[in-house]
Amino acid sequence: MNRWIAIVPLLALIALAIIGAQNLMREEKPSAGLSDNRPAPTRAFQRLEDAPSPIRFNPNTDEKAVVVNLFASWCGPCEVEHPLLMALSEQHPDRLVGLLYKDDPENGRAFLARLGNPFQAVGQDPSGQGGIDFGLTGVPETFVVGADGIIKLHVRGPLTPNDVDKISSLLNSER
């Protein structure tokens, strides 16, 4: 009888490991999808490049839907998703905005110089408060903000080709 008592926690641990592995290997990310249509932050983000006007998403000063990608030079998954951002930028020029999250501006510039810059503009979020305002859970994360300043899509984690297709469709419909 004592043997069974010792085995029960081990079996429970194995069952949790199997469930966790299945969730990690799912093709579709459960957090990728339409948002609750909440407003984008009203915060103004200082630009990484020398420009006098800050970046704003609500009101959306571009008057068209934009993709907002929060990234950092120290983020490995950000580097992994970067080719997909470059491809998305080719499909939709001037529709991508980057936010450098809790990173040194020089490191952000070096990251973009090394991998290419898919963004029409890059803002800075040195304190991370802007990311919190967006609903960020960890970089990288991507948001589509409509011309009305409402978040239309929130993708947690690195982009997949399926995510890029969803984003592209949304940008085409939000012209």
Q: What is the pLDDT of residues 117-134, one digit of tens each?
A: 999 999 999 999 999 999
User: Rounded to an integer, what is the distance from CA 134 to the centroid of its chain?
Assistant: 10
pLDDT at residue number 113: 97
Instruction: Tell me the pLDDT of the chain averaged across its residues.
Output: 87
E strands, the chain, are: 33-34, 66-71, 96-101, 121-125, 141-145, 151-156
**Of 144, 132, 137, which Cα lies nearest the Cα of 175?**
144
pTM above 0.85, yes or no: no
Q: Write the single-letter amino acid at 171.
A: L
Q: What is the crossing angle of helices 161-173 and 76-91, to 10°? A: 40
Query: Which uninterrupted H or E stretch holds 106?
Result: helix 105-115
What is the percentage of the chain residues whose pLDDT exceeds 70? 82
